[in-house]
Amino acid sequence: MESGEDRRQEKRRKRRCLILAVIAVILLVVILAIVLGVTLRKRKDDFNTKFMERCQKFKGYNCQKIWDAFQQAYVNRDRCDVPTEAYDPLIATAPFESLCNRTMFWSKTKNVVHDFTRGNDCFKTVEDTLLGSVLNGLEWCGKNGSSETFTTGCPKWEECEKSAVRSFWNRVSAAFGDFACGNVTVMLNGSIDTPFSPTSIFASIEMKKFKSPKVKNLNVVLVIQKNSVTNCTNESLKNLMMGLDKGIGYHCFEVPE
């Protein structure tokens, strides 16, 4: 019968279509996986490349060794469980150059302070040091059970106290504060109600490292803009002065931007 032959042919055609469809889906999945894999690898390599490029601007350091010490701090750790001490080996691998009388700290004056230190060689912020400049503006984290570096989906600053990024900045800031000697300068913002905030990194970490007689003076540069609301008489600056180690001199200068 014709209709029986037709049905068999129809069945075969359907089966062929099904097989083709399955092959197409498999191909699509494979292509997607390759594209995704390349993108992810590229993103990771971009991070490593940027790290190396920025590091190599500083002469006389072993950047591969610094990268290895950097990675061991956070890889294979939970994203919110990186203690500041994890970065101790990194700090030891890339010591600061001598900066006596030339360290500049800042709080809430990020843009102005870097324009200022870039324009002259007298003062250096932590972002002008090797570690600070290499990692400035970057995002990274690890994952428990993985040896990879991730550069997206990492915890935001406020999300956890012991993120890879936050612990790094806390550790490098402490090292920079420890390193300060002679005259130390801090640039504060006169346009905000409380230029010296006890919760800032400067107040809670860096300033606590200033010890007399290694540190002689703390010179506050209070940046005054048109809309400034405070001056050197502000109460928060008195708190700063009172919080200094005994023997360290305090001076405040109101400086127009």
Binding mask 109-148 for ligand NAG (x = CB under 6 A): x-xx-------------------------------xx---
Closer Cβ to ligand NAG, 151 or 217, answer by number: 217
Residue type, 57: K
The radius of gyration of the chain's CA atoms, rounded to the nearest angstrom, is: 28
Ranges within 183-242 binding ligand NAG (CB under 6 A): 183, 189, 191-194, 216-217, 219, 223, 229-231, 233-236
Closer Cβ to ligand NAG, 133 or 236, answer by number: 236
Closer Cβ to ligand NAG, 50 or 214, answer by number: 214
108 binds ligand NAG (CB under 6 A): yes
- Which one, of 82, 113, 146, lies nearest residue 255 by Cα? 113
Question: Are the C-beta atoms of 72 and 143 separated by less than 8 Å?
Answer: no
Binders of ligand NAG: how many residues, by CB under 6 A?
30
Closer Cβ to ligand NAG, 66 or 186, answer by number: 186
Binding mask 67-106 for ligand NAG (x = CB under 6 A): -----------x--x------------------xx-----
Ranges within 147-186 binding ligand NAG (CB under 6 A): 182-183
Closer Cβ to ligand NAG, 3 or 233, answer by number: 233
Return the H-helix or E-strand segment holding 184: strand 182-189
The CA-atom distances, in angstroms, between 143 and each of 8, 75, 156 are: 56, 6, 15
Give the phi and the psi of residue 141 in degrees, each rounded to 5: -165, 170
With a CB cutoff of 8 Å and minimum separation 6, the contacts of 145 are 76
How far apart are the C-alpha atoms of 118 and 223, rounded to whole Å? 17
Closer Cβ to ligand NAG, 133 or 219, answer by number: 219
**Helix ranges (DSSP H) in the chain:** 2-56, 63-74, 88-93, 110-119, 130-135, 164-179, 201, 235-243
Given the rule CB under 6 A, which residues bind ligand NAG?
78, 81, 100-101, 108-109, 111-112, 144-145, 182-183, 189, 191-194, 216-217, 219, 223, 229-231, 233-236, 251, 257
